[in-house]
Structure 1
Amino acid sequence: MVYFPINQNQSSRQSVNFLSPIRQWLNNLEIRNESVAHLICRLIPVQCPFEREIYLLGRKIGYIPPLCQINPLYQEVVGLRFRALCYLADECGQDVRCYC
């Protein structure tokens, strides 16, 4: 068997380059439609949905930390939700407390 060493820096650079177009697309996405802004705010949760406390017979036996920040596109997705909220509040004059 032949093993090829993988350079960690090279593999991490490739993943960053691979996600760069998606990051740019998410960052440049403009919210211009009220229904699209509402859809984005409904689809992207306020908090990480994976964070949990595990109880057994009324006693806490475990904790699952929020894992969303491991997502390489986390900042871009949160930014998109923020822009949608700002569009609804500033441009449309709507109350966005239901999404907070």
Structure 2
Amino acid sequence: MMNVASYTVISSELAHPEIESKNATIPKNAPKKKFDLLRPLRHWIDNLKVKDPQLARHLCYLIPAQCPFERDVKVLGRTLFHIPPMCKINPLYEELMMLRFRALCYLADECGEDISAYC
């Protein structure tokens, strides 16, 4: 018969210092939570269900498929300033793109519409 005690491993030998236990405290180098003023709006957009074809069409029309407005403003051949793409400025860009994608999927899958006009 085998001795089980010789094969058991003490859990503290395998414990990783970053893994929390019931008595552990938060490490000093852990990222601190930032206050996100737009969190309720992000949450609302993420949880918005697209169940109406007219709403889905409006969303696809209102939310552009690409980053708009990247321009170089030139006068007499000289660049005065550069306007960056709006997606880099808009803090809700990813949520809006996912909402547009859900609307397109609804139109294609549920309504059977050709969505090539929206792309």
- Interval of TM-score (by shorter of Structure 1 and Structure 2): 0.7 to 0.9
Aligned pair 1:66/2:90, yes or no?
A: no
Alignment gaps of 5+ in structure 2: 1-30
Q: Which structure has more helix as a fraction of its residues?
A: 1
| Residue equivalent to 1:98 | 117
Where in structure 2 are the equivalents of 1:7-46 lying within 5 Å?
13-14=34-35, 16=36, 18-46=37-65
RMSD: 2.2
Task: Write the deviation string for residues 25-59 of structure 1: whole angstroms up to 9, x where unpaired.
Answer: 100000000000000000001112211244556x5
Identity of matched residues, %: 51
**Superposition misfits of 4+ residues, deviation over 6 angstroms:** none
Distance 2:102 2:34 in 1: 28
Are 1:79 and 2:79 counterparts?
no
Number of residues paired by the alignment? 88
Higher relative contact order, structure no. (Cα contacts within 8 Å, ≥ 6 residues apart): 1
Q: TM-score, normalised by structure 2?
A: 0.63
Q: Kindly name which structure, 1 or 2, has the bigger radius of gyration based on alpha carbons.
A: 2
Structure 1: segments with no counterpart, 5+ residues: 1-8
Letter in 2 for 1:21: P
Counterpart-to-counterpart distance in 1, 2:110 and 2:71: 36
